Chains A and B, each alone.
Chain A
Amino acid sequence: GNSVTQMEGPVTLSEEAFLTINCTYTATGYPSLFWYVQYPGEGLQLLLKATKADDKGSNKGFEATYRKETTSFHLEKGSVQVSDSAVYFCALSGDYKLSFGAGTTVTVRA
């Protein structure tokens, strides 16, 4: 079956630091890959997505590249801000459903 594994948190960073959250997946076929962000007390917002191998999704300074050879979709941001503090979920689509990773809590200190 489909599954997503992402690095466990929590991750605590200083402002302007570099952020990487690792995500690997197991899937049949060719899934689309997503990163969602959840701010405290809120639902999930789509951060970025990639629909095929070698696609790079990007939004708000975040990037992730769909790597089929390593089955990975790592999230990166070069310079984080306090407002980036949230929980980040990696997800993949399969059978028109989403499978989520466990989520990584990121806290950015001023």
Chain B
Amino acid sequence: GAVVSQHPSRVICKSGTSVKIECRSLDFQATTMFWYRQFPKKSLMLMATSNEGSKATYEQGVEKDKFLINHASLTLSTLTVTSAHPEDSSFYICSARGRRGTYEQYFGPGTRLTVT
């Protein structure tokens, strides 16, 4: 149980285009989903927290207009990188938390974004 999927696993796009990454909880309802960014040989940086049906809460320094997050249902959250630039190239990982009041997060396998 507690499986989280991400799609696509890898994407290459041209500078200036937008890319959407999907995160799905396959066998549970995720009241909260998190989006992280991981730089090479670095730890995970929390970008934003999204609760189903409400606006995402972005961490300091993360541009909300560039990284659009939608959590339209209890099993799906999307991250759209708008007007991507090479510096947005990174490994993006989502996680999902089930019941409110619990700490455990279940992580997706990650999406490798390369902007050329």
B-binding residues in A (CB < 8 A)? 32, 36, 41-46, 49, 89, 93, 96-98, 100-103, 105
Contacts and interface: CB of A to CB of B under 8 A. Distances in A.
Interface of B: 4, 6, 32, 34, 41-44, 46, 49, 93, 95, 97, 103-110, 112
B97 A102 contact: no
B41 A43 contact: no
A85 to B, nearest CB: 15
Contact of A49 (B93, B104, B108, B110): B104
A80 B93 CA distance: 27
Given A49-B104, A97-B49, A42 B44 contact: no
Contacts of A42: 109-110
Main secondary structure of the interface of B (DSSP, over half): strand
Main secondary structure of the interface of A (DSSP, over half): strand
B93 A101 contact: no
A32 B43 contact: no
A32 B103 contact: yes
Contact of A96 (B6, B103, B112): B103
Contacts of B112: 41
A105 B93 CA distance: 18
Complex A-B, nearest 10 residue pairs according to Cβ-Cβ distance, in ascending order: A93-B103, A43-B109, A44-B107, A43-B110, A43-B107, A102-B43, A100-B43, A100-B44, A32-B103, A43-B93
A36 B36 CA distance: 14
Contacts of A89: 43-44
Given A44-B44, A97-B34, A98-B34, 12 more contacts: A42-B110, A43-B109, A43-B110, A44-B95, A46-B106, A49-B104, A89-B44, A96-B97, A97-B49, A98-B46, A98-B105, A103-B42
A96 B105 CA distance: 9
B43 A43 contact: no
A101 B46 contact: no
14 contacts: A32-B103, A42-B110, A43-B108, A43-B110, A44-B44, A44-B93, A44-B95, A45-B107, A46-B104, A96-B103, A97-B49, A98-B34, A98-B46, A103-B41
